[in-house]
Structure 1
Amino acid sequence: MLHPRRSAQAVLLCGLCETVDLQSYCELCNVNLCKACVEEHLSDSSKKHNVVSFLHRKSTSTYPKCPTHVDKQSELYCEKCDVLVCSTCVSKKHKGHKLCNILEKFSSKTESLQKDLEELETRIYPRYEKMASDVQTEKSGLQTNYEKLTTAADQQGEVLQRMVITIANQRKSDIQKMKNKHMAALDKNTDEITQRITELRKIIEDLKKILNTKDVSLTSTYKSRNGEFRQLPPKVQLTLPSLSPSKINKEKLNKMVGSVSSLSKTKEKGCTMKSAEAVLSPPVKPLLDEPRLTATIDSEYRYIYSVSCLSEEQVWTCGDNKIMKLLNLRGKLLTSIQTESGRIPEDIAVTRDGDLVYTDNNTLYLVKNKQIQTVITLQGWVPRYVCSTTTNDLLVTMNSDDKTQSKVVRYSGSTETQAIQFDDQGRPHYSSGYYKYISENRNLDICVADSRASAVVVVNQSGKLRFRYTGHPSNAKQSFYPRGVTTDSQSHILTADFNNHRIHILNEDGQFLRYIHCDLFNPLGVCVDIRDNLFVAECATAKVKKIQYL
């Protein structure tokens, strides 16, 4: 601090009174002292103080207090335990450990810190600044690009709007022409009736004159025309036209407006700067030659249908009763939830937020903090199987009430944002069968295990078919009958072959890679945790097996 009377000079003050220049220093307490405060400091007899002159302190090695023994100084550093120690510590807990002088350690640490500082200032920090600048540049470019897309959408909308107005005007012109014809026919009819009325008036007037004059000649020559006028002139009857608006096909209208290409898969390229600035490639986990069974969990159901990972150590399960169970790897029940309806749940999944969702009859439920909330209730469709996506949406497979149709629907909250049912030729992607476990891959493909079709059906995020996997042409006792399906960090697709008691592993393009056996029996539900451990629910044994395969 600056001295009040010598403001141009920085001085050190007494650490107790903080007003007088220091003169002494207590090496035990690491405190600066003025002459007046030395006596007060020494009056504390609980410690053995060592007060020296401040000048002498400069040539005296200073050591920190021992964290364990407050009356000792830590003069040594234990390499094994990575802690500061005093002589008492050495004789007790650190006997035989590798020790070095703390000042030597301080010197090497200081040198290391200096190198870190230099690297941070000259190499690492500038790289971050450049990255930030690059991101801003990219944001500016994105802004321009999206403005162009928005303008193009507006222009296309205006083109369609003009087309619609043109067509509507043509319809109005047609209507006007029909109206004119209708009116002309009625006008003609009116003229005929008016002419008859004029004639009738003349006849009536003539008859009155004859009767008033009592002229024999006129009376004898009169000829009646009543018979002629008893036949009324024909009345024109025209059927009014009507406009029959066609049902607007939203899908076709969308195609007319045009589509926006989907976002390409974002690849986060991480750069790890070592001394040589080596760039590490993303981790690749090869498949094990022999997958290993690492845990077996007894669910205590009679039959188990589905499993979903909450963590590496905890899984949600559902089976042949109304209770959904959260179990650890030892089979201990951690939490249980009873379905709202009291019926057996169809399927379960864990969201990105760690909440449980399940399907039951015509309703999809969310369990948050043990409270059950209704997400959707459907009419005409029954939700069957469900999974959570990378964007925390829900993908749900469902069947129509009449059991003739199946589709996949994406929900954001309770709002339907996408429906996938038909291919470009209008043919259904999926069979009408019930069993359709579902999973989203890392490349955003949507994978459905369609048991009735004996196929894993994979579409891209827009709903366009990528491929159908119908099993591997190796020897199998039974036909391919896929049930559970899941994906891992390597974009592998894993599906449970129920009848043949094994798991098929495919790459993201549907190429068969290998089987997982591990003495599985009727594998049904499957899921993968964040470390790519596979959990398999064995239906008949009601066990969940944890398998390492990468």
Structure 2
Amino acid sequence: MIRTIQFNDQNLTINTPGFLSFRSTLKEEFGIRENSHVRCSLFDTKIVKQDKYCVEIKRIRVLLTKDCLLLRAADPSCILISIDLSCTAKVIATIRTQYQPLFRIACRRKDSAWISSNKCITLVDIKGNVHDTVTTPCQHLPQDISVTRQKEMIYSDSVSRAIKIIKCDKSKTLISTPWKWEPLGLYCTKSEDILVNIRKNRKHRIVRYRGKKIIQEVYKDKSNNLIFRKGSYVLMLAENNNGDICVSDLNAELVVVVNRKGGVRFRYDGAQAKRRKSFDPRCIVTDFRSQIIVTDVYNDCLHILDQNLNGSLLRCVDNCGLYRPYGLCLDDKGRLWVGLPMTNEIKVIEYQT
């Protein structure tokens, strides 16, 4: 193995054209030791322009764009490859409901989701059949809903300062937030922690609960400045595969992404999408590729961001008749369920190959 990597290293440095005609010798390499210690060539990635991303390995440079498929090797020291990153999204189901407003959706399994409307939380399947309805004791509507790893429904009740769980069609208090802090946005993580947006005097924090104990608070950056803008709107939450906390902050009209320690990684303001109206982010999810997806009410579309490229816009989904999209969740098949409050519909969308 070491000999092969040294050979590849030499080719990448002085024999770039030979790299193109390489043929695998895998059949000759059986019997490799399990604990071989080798030093592999490093590679780097960077943004070249708004829609162009560059990967470099030695003198090989691969450029990804959204334009077309192109292979050009006129310059032997540089290989330019453009790959089509666009993909047409399609609606595979439209669920017409009698529930309003469809501000919150939480997928339960591959073909069903909980929806929150007024004081009721209802379980519907992809064909529109109702499987369960729970009337919550909230004075107002639940601020947000989420599903635990055990597929149990939880919701935030801002008036009673509680995160509640539904068991046997009844609501039970799971967590009580600190005095005068209202619980708003919710997200259940893969590690079974619960992320909660809490608000007091229009100031926002994100706290991480493990059981009933707060183990993390996110609200100031390393310069001691507030990360989230003061305001009355709920911060919608998601956690990415690398532990980043992704926040839709409508008060600032931004998507804010912080790392697992609470440090700001980047902010996205929607300008890359070049839409006519101002960015109006609402619900947010992440997928298995670690892409960040957020609904944009004013511009009738979804923004899909790449978390590995400092929040660069990959594309917008605007071809599915999404009029004022708001609620959003991702099911076990990787499909988006998008709530449309103006028409009382949920559209289930396949958006990636």
Fold shared by both chains (TM-score > 0.5): yes
Specify which of 333, 341, 350 is matched with residue 138 of structure 2.
Answer: 341
1:470 and 1:387 mapped to 2: Cα distance? 22
Aligned to 2:164: 365
Tell me if 1:351 matches 2:351.
no
1:475 and 1:462 mapped to 2: Cα distance? 32
Q: Does the 8 Å CA contact 1:303/1:541 hold for their aligned counterparts?
A: no
SS in 1 for 2:109: coil
- 5 Å-filtered alignment, 1:95-244, equals none
Tell me if 1:486 matches 2:290.
no
Aligned to 2:317: 516
The CA deviation at 1:543 is 1.2
1:546 and 1:287 mapped to 2: Cα distance? 22
Q: Does the 8 Å CA contact 2:272/2:313 hold for their aligned counterparts?
A: no
Aligned to 1:500: 299
Tell me if 1:447 matches 2:246.
yes
Tell me if 1:548 matches 2:350.
yes
1:288 and 1:358 mapped to 2: Cα distance? 36
Aligned to 1:97: none
Aligned to 1:526: 328
SS in 2 for 1:304: coil
Specify which of 167, 184, 205 is matched with residue 407 of structure 1.
Answer: 205
Q: Does the 8 Å CA contact 1:458/1:467 hold for their aligned counterparts?
A: yes
Q: Does the 8 Å CA contact 1:522/1:540 hold for their aligned counterparts?
A: yes
2:138 and 2:282 mapped to 1: Cα distance? 25
Q: Does the 8 Å CA contact 1:506/1:513 hold for their aligned counterparts?
A: yes
Letter in 2 for 1:470: D
1:384 and 1:503 mapped to 2: Cα distance? 22
Q: Does the 8 Å CA contact 2:85/2:314 hold for their aligned counterparts?
A: no
Q: Does the 8 Å CA contact 1:399/1:432 hold for their aligned counterparts?
A: no
Letter in 2 for 1:356: M
Structure with the greater relative contact order (CA < 8 A, sep ≥ 6): 1 or 2?
Answer: 2
2:170 and 2:211 mapped to 1: Cα distance? 16
| C-alpha distance 316-442 of structure 1, shift in aligned 2 (>3 A) | same
2:237 and 2:104 mapped to 1: Cα distance? 12
| C-alpha distance 474-494 of structure 1, shift in aligned 2 (>3 A) | closer
Q: Which has the larger radius of gyration?
A: 1
| C-alpha distance 528-408 of structure 1, shift in aligned 2 (>3 A) | same
Tell me if 1:535 matches 2:332.
no
Aligned to 1:31: none
The CA deviation at 1:431 is 1.2
Aligned to 1:310: 108
Specify which of 215, 222, 229 is matched with residue 424 of structure 1.
Answer: 222
The CA deviation at 1:476 is 2.0
> % of aligned pairs identical?
32
Q: Does the 8 Å CA contact 2:86/2:315 hold for their aligned counterparts?
A: no
| C-alpha distance 328-287 of structure 1, shift in aligned 2 (>3 A) | farther
Letter in 1 for 2:196: V
- 5 Å-filtered alignment, 1:256-271, equals none
Tell me if 1:327 matches 2:327.
no
- Report the number of matched residues: 267
1:448-492: per-residue Cα shift (whole Å, max 9, x none)?
000010100000010000000001344422100101100000000
The CA deviation at 1:409 is 0.5
2:197 and 2:153 mapped to 1: Cα distance? 17
Q: Does the 8 Å CA contact 2:164/2:171 hold for their aligned counterparts?
A: yes
2:278 and 2:140 mapped to 1: Cα distance? 32
SS in 2 for 1:524: coil
The CA deviation at 1:340 is 2.6
| C-alpha distance 538-480 of structure 1, shift in aligned 2 (>3 A) | same
RMSD: 1.9
Letter in 1 for 2:226: P
The CA deviation at 1:377 is 2.1
The CA deviation at 1:287 is 6.1
2:122 and 2:97 mapped to 1: Cα distance? 8
| C-alpha distance 444-474 of structure 1, shift in aligned 2 (>3 A) | closer
Q: Does the 8 Å CA contact 1:288/1:549 hold for their aligned counterparts?
A: no
- 5 Å-filtered alignment, 1:17-166, equals none
SS in 1 for 2:145: strand
1:539 and 1:448 mapped to 2: Cα distance? 21
| C-alpha distance 418-476 of structure 1, shift in aligned 2 (>3 A) | same
1:399-430: per-residue Cα shift (whole Å, max 9, x none)?
11x22x10100011211111100001110110
Q: Does the 8 Å CA contact 1:435/1:450 hold for their aligned counterparts?
A: yes
1:325-375: per-residue Cα shift (whole Å, max 9, x none)?
000011111011111335311110111110111011221111234342212
More strand by share: 2
Tell me if 1:398 matches 2:195.
no
1:523 and 1:318 mapped to 2: Cα distance? 15
- Alignment TM-score, normalising by the size of structure 1: 0.47
| C-alpha distance 287-318 of structure 1, shift in aligned 2 (>3 A) | farther
- Alignment TM-score, normalising by the size of structure 2: 0.72
More helix by share: 1
Aligned to 1:436: 235
1:366-393: per-residue Cα shift (whole Å, max 9, x none)?
1234342212223121111101111011
1:199-233: per-residue Cα shift (whole Å, max 9, x none)?
xxxxxxxxxxxxxxxxxxxxxxxxxxxxxxxxxxx
Letter in 1 for 2:111: E
